[in-house]
Amino acid sequence: MLVRTLPDPVPPARHEIAASYISRLATLHGLDINHLWTTVTTREPSGGLRRVVVPERLAALTGRSVHQLAGALPELRDPQPDWAMFRHQPQTGCPRCDARHPGGTVTRLLPHHRYVCTRHRIWIGPPDINQTADLHALPAVVDAQRRHLRLLHRHGWANTFDAVLTALSFCGHAWDAIRPPEDPWHVWHTWDARAHVLIPAERALSTYSASRLFAAVYPEAVNLAAIIASPHWRRLADGTPDERRRFDREISRRFTYPYHDRDYGGDAIAHWAEADSWRPPSKPLNTYTPARIKGVVPALHGSTIRRHEKGATWFDRNRKAGSTLLRHIHIKPALVRAWAPAYERVEGAIWHSTRIDSDMQTQTARQRAAQPKSSLHVPAQRRGAMQQQT
């Protein structure tokens, strides 16, 4: 198929999905997006209705080499990257970065570790409505992104992915209190103060976003993730009573622990130490698929908008955030683990993630005895495995 070069082929944005780039090209040149999409794509090998981009056709259309395009568009890379290293859901990024790319909304496929644009101090976070937020008043959140990247280079993407989501779930449990803690130094108060900056009480309905609540706990989550990803601390968490006490002291040095009164019931950190610390990291539940039927990035579904409006109203009334984090799909891999019982509702998984009763300990002991010793504890990950997603 002969493809003519466009007169103004703007470059793609970093980590932009192909459908977003082609849509922007069509808008800038007044072309029909469906026709342009069909021109540069072909049916996927399986013979279905979904189509994949032909790199050579897109290169001819833009006048750029396949190598140049693949540097920005992950879908054009050969060999294909490990899609598990990326979030399964495309999203918008930093609005100030996107302003340099005309033609419409820039939709990107970001790796799991991208939460903040450190250049512009903008919260990107997990995809959500009203997800971005200015962080100039919250430098700790920006600094946490840099520490997150150092953690990634030290432990690899899989261990870091599991550690950060596990730490976010701990923060969700600690923030999920019936009433504010009496201890003025409890981390709950730090998160509440950040939440008031990100979601002001007088504008809660218009500025609410579950993603912004993740920003409130992000610095402490990265602090905890450094312990969770470390093979040394995982062994101590799963070790003798003295080693376990060392682990607990290190947790309490970085985080308010115990985070609830003893009679509150359940302890997510103790559960993890008993049931999960000796197992391999949990993997993403879903992965991105580059093939699609149409070249148009779908708009938000009506049910998503209604769920967001309901969440904003609920948060405006009581300012409770812990349960919102625990029920968000972003941390689901840390709650619905492959070895955990399957529950029909997320409330069951949340309850199970805090169990420390004798039945749970007995069941865990049996599972541990059935595992070969070589499979216990988190394996070290080679740094080269991260190069595909940077």
Q: In the Cβ-directed half-sphere of 390, how many Cα atoms lie within 13 Å?
A: 9
In the structure, what pLDDT confidence band is assigned to residue 374 with cuts at 50, 70 and 90? low
271, 360 in Cβ contact below 8 A? yes
220, 171 in Cβ contact below 8 A? yes
- CA gap 51, 33 in Å, rounded: 14
DSSP 315-384: HHHH---HHHHHHSGGGHHHHS-TTSPP-SSHHHHHHHTT--SHHHHHHHHHHHHHS-GGGSSPPP--GG
- CA gap 126, 212 in Å, rounded: 9
pTM over 0.85: yes
In the structure, what pLDDT confidence band is assigned to residue 30 with cuts at 50, 70 and 90? very high
Does the structure show a pLDDT above 80 at 296? no
Mind listing the pLDDT tens digit for each residue in 322-331? 999 999 999 9
What pLDDT shows up at residue 265? Answer: 65
What pLDDT shows up at residue 11? Answer: 96
Q: Which residue has the higher pLDDT, 5 or 381?
A: 5
Does the structure show a pLDDT above 70 at 379? no
Angle at 124 between CA 120 and CA 128, to 5 degrees: 150
In the structure, what pLDDT confidence band is assigned to residue 293 with cuts at 50, 70 and 90? confident
What pLDDT shows up at residue 3? Answer: 77
Mind listing the pLDDT tens digit for each residue in 326-358? 999 999 999 999 999 999 999 999 999 999 999
- Retrieve residue 239's tokens: 């070790």
Element (H, E) at 130: none
Does the structure show a pLDDT above 80 at 261? no
274, 356 in Cβ contact below 8 A? yes
Beta bridge partners, 43, equal: 51
58: burial class by Cβ within 10 Å (0-12, 13-18, 19+)?
A: buried
Q: Which of 55-64, 301-310, 332-341 has the lowest mean pLDDT?
A: 301-310
Does the structure show a pLDDT above 70 at 383? no
- Retrieve residue 91's tokens: 């999203």
In the structure, what pLDDT confidence band is assigned to residue 372 with cuts at 50, 70 and 90? confident
